[in-house]
Amino acid sequence: ELAQIDDVKKALACLLFGGCRKRLPDGTRMRGDINILLLGDPGTAKSQFLKFAEKAAPIAVYTSGKGSSAAGLTAAIVRDREGFTLEGGAMVLADGGIVCIDEFDKMDQNDRVAIHEAMEQQTISIAKAGITTMLNTRCSVLAAANPVFGTYDDLSSTGDQMDFETTILSRFDMMFLVKDVRDPERDFNLCKHMVGLHSGEVVESREGPLGVLELRKYISYCRGKCEPRVSPEASEVLKNHYVSIRQAMKQEKATVPITVRQLEAIIRISESLAKMELREDADTSHVEEALRLFTVSTLDSANKDRSNIGMDNLTEEQKESLQKAEEQIRRLLPRGARRNKHQLHSQLVQSAGIDDKMAKLAIHMLIIRRELQEKAGGTIQRVE
């Protein structure tokens, strides 16, 4: 889990430095800003990531999804004594920087649709009250959200737990699942640190080689002075990987389709990694690291269907326990019988002495194999 958090920190660094904006000879603009979505359990420090990004970015606007509307994020027409005036929203004010949106899942669906153009074309078109204009929103979006049911369920597919349209998900370059893993050693260290903070024992705060102020200056300098491009060798590596990813995703039912947008995302991540080192070219090492970050974020979180959980990751002991649980279910539930799912699970754990996780997995596997059917009222029925 710590490695996963390290990957989130690397992704945030890429967002802060950003890729390179390009203007083609025909006048078309290609965005260089990176958008990131953090999806995960409550209490996993998602808001802290957003708060730090706001402090470290030269230009930043922080907002909450519940208290934001389409007009508040994009632009609003205000009437005064002299007539109508145009007021820019959070994304217009954050032009050239980042906008942090906490509780992104609490936003109204119609308000989320309003930022589609702002995230991809990086402009907002206004045609209201006789005012027709276009505003720039050249900013990165860092959003944090919770799954549909509040916490993440490993036995359900990620697609079922995301309350977002494919159109908005495809606009995020990286999506991370930030899960609350129950590890006794990690929990003890975290508890010790938190108790120390509250009791006043832990007073010194660890700081890296650069303070936040120096980091902000360095980010500002890199964004203004460095414009790296992907080298020819790195381009070949990128092309081969992209084609193989597309072929692999064709066989899976992907929540987020892998399109040219995702290819551009990998290029932007490569450029931002080169920009951190003040390089003129993004070489093969930058592209490979960008592909790794993209794989551990978007591919793993959006396209891995956890409902097809296999037996490969289980130990021999766990396989035996799973088989025992399945036999107990068949004994407790005769063919055609129907029973409350929660009561069956409780009986397996308390009476049969089966591990909680194995009991859940056994019920889940039998449902997948169509031996059990889920019915109304939280009940399950054994197929005759």
The CA-atom distances, in angstroms, between 72 and each of 83, 88, 268, 326, 383 are: 20, 8, 28, 53, 53
Q: How far is CA 338 from the centre of its chain?
A: 39
- pLDDT tens, position by position, 242-270: 888 787 776 665 556 678 888 899 999 99
Neighbour-count burial of 5, counting CB atoms closer than 10 A to its CB (0-12 exposed, 13-18 middle, 19+ buried): middle
Identify the residue whose tokens are 């649980």: 325
The CA-atom distances, in angstroms, between 165 and each of 161, 233, 255, 292 are: 12, 36, 9, 25
CB 112 within 8 A of CB 6: no
CB 16 within 8 A of CB 273: no
6: CB partners within 8 A, 6+ apart: none
Q: Closest Cα to residue 41, out of 9, 72, 4? A: 4
Digitized pLDDT (tens) for each residue of the chain, 384 residues in all: 444 578 888 999 999 999 888 888 888 888 889 999 998 888 788 888 899 899 999 999 998 877 777 788 888 888 888 888 888 888 888 888 999 999 888 888 877 887 888 888 888 888 887 888 888 888 999 999 888 877 776 666 666 677 777 788 888 888 888 877 777 887 788 788 788 878 877 655 666 787 888 999 999 999 988 999 999 998 988 888 888 878 777 666 555 667 888 889 999 999 999 999 999 999 989 998 998 888 888 766 655 544 444 444 567 787 888 888 888 888 888 888 888 888 888 888 888 888 887 888 888 778 777 788 877 777 888 887
